[in-house]
Amino acid sequence: MNRRRVLLALGGLGLTGASAWAVRNDAASGSGLPIEVTTMDAPGSEAGERRVPAADAVTVVDLFATWCSPCKEQMDALATVRESYGEEVAMISVTNERLGGSLSREDLREWWRENDGAWALGLDPDSELMSALGASGLPYVAVFDAEGAVRWSDSGLTDATDLRGAVDDALATP
């Protein structure tokens, strides 16, 4: 059995584990944050730039994509938390989809409208934020404390109770 066969035989899990670990390791170092994210004109969102995480405020960051159905469901929990905390907590939803081809700015705005977005809507076409957070799946939600440290993050659908708990913890951070 040659070397290649041996490695093949060892199987994928070890390799997947290793690559996933590397990604998380990056995130743990918090490398690359904060990032200036371009925001666009949409309900609750103005065109401009936003620092992620916000300076001196607890920040909820939601990574999504228009092709991701659970990301639509994620919007409900985000809206609930948004209503509870209002402006006390900064919230931004960011897609890493590059506009162009068969996805226009208007398509994205339409998605946002349909899913009742009412906070900042950001664009991350080079997946900078996604990489910095080490998100390997969508939806992905992270909560930062006012010092800019990640207090909590979750890949996959997060319900409103868990998200509220994470925000409360971040707010309680001295």
Partner 1 sequence: MDRREYLRTAAAVGLAGGTAGCASVLDSNPNVALGEPDREFDSEDAPYPAWGQRIPDVALPAPLDDRTVELRAIDRPSVLTFFYSHCNTVCPVLLSTMRNVHTHTLNEGYADEVAFFPTTFDPARDDADRLRTYADEMNVATDADNWAFLRPASEDRATQVVQEQFGVMFERTEPEDMDMYMFTHTALTLLVNADGYVERAYRTDSPDAERILSDLETVRS
Instruction: Tell me the two tokens of residue 74.
Output: 């994620």
The owner of tokens 């936003």 is 50
Binding-site size, partner 1 (CB under 8 A): 39
Residue (70 or 165) nearer to partner 1, CB: 70
> Under the criterion CB under 8 A, does residue 67 sit at the interface with partner 1?
yes
x/- map, 17-46, partner 1, by CB under 8 A: -xxx-xx-----------------------
List, as own/partner pairs, every contact residues 104-113 make where C-beta atoms lie below 8 angstroms and the sequence separation is at least 24, other chains included: 105/40, 107/66, 108/40, 108/42, 108/66, 109/40, 109/41, 109/42, 111/66, 112/42, 112/43, 112/45, 113/42, 113/43
Q: How far is the CB of 154 from partner 1 (least distance, A)?
A: 14
Residue (110 or 147) nearer to partner 1, CB: 110
x/- map, 109-138, partner 1, by CB under 8 A: ----------------xxxx-xx--xxxxx
Choices 41-49, 75-83, 99-107, 143-151; region in contact with partner 1 by CB under 8 A: 99-107
